[in-house]
Amino acid sequence: MGVLDGKVAIVTGSARGIGRATADLLASQGAGVLINDLDADVAAETAAEIAKAHGGDTAVFGGDLTAEGVPEALVAKAVDSFGKIDILVNNAGYTLDKPIHLMTDDWFQRMLDIHTVVPFRTIRAAAPYFRDPAKQEREQGVEVFRKIVNISSVSGTMGNAGQANYSAAKSAVVGLTKTLAKEWGQFKVNVNAVAFGHIETRLTAAKTDDNTMTIGGETVQLGIPEAMVGATSFLIPLGRPGTPEEAAGGVFFLCSPWSNYVSGQVLNVTGGQWIGMMS
């Protein structure tokens, strides 16, 4: 038996990295999980692997979440597949790094779109499946907790040179989280955020020719300068970056029954990294 038996989770951006580790952990604890990625084939492969590993139910949704109507279609797919939603993890994202004086309007807006607008639209689309059952449960005098976890970053809470767009978007996620926690607390929805530090993913690996992704036919360079990869460990008291599995542990806590009285919070999963000015 798992602590999430009978629960249904949407995890955006869950075919790789932290999203995949999160989906895998939720599935291992009994949740049915919707796997999402820009690449539907990769999402399907991941879903099959997770289902085989844990014997649970998975569904697949591929598509560009920044496109009109796609967040709504994502939610509809989860409901069509499982009949309900108990957990929503807004994880999908990528980075486009440049100093402010070289950054274009397009690059700034694209980070706002994927990291802030997409979670907003997904939450709005999911609203009936969080609010309406809670109204009935309230009339019956029972408490059933549902969970929303928004993925932020220490770039959003402390800022980061070269990431004005990403930092602004991830900071906005914190405001979205705290506001929604106040609005939906009455419906027993725990709304929290996780601010990650340096976790070993494609976004924090060294910039190389093969560390790229394709979005709308455009090749996007991922990663950070190689000199920074080695230097980050000196800023982390635990002495190394975190793994996706360790990152997923923080998300899992906020999806679990142990977080039923935790809401409107930002959980820092950083290995103790506290360098910079806090918001």
Which of the residues are catalytic?
Answer: 166
Spatial contact of 170 and 194, defined as CB atoms under 8 Å apart: no
Alpha helices in the chain (DSSP H): 17-28, 40-54, 70-82, 105-112, 118-140, 154-158, 164-184, 226-231, 244-255
Helix, strand, coil fractions of the chain, as percent rounded to 5: 50, 20, 35
First CA to last CA distance, the chain: 41
Name the phi and psi angles at 221, rounded to 5.
-75, 130
Per-residue tokens: 202: 């494609």
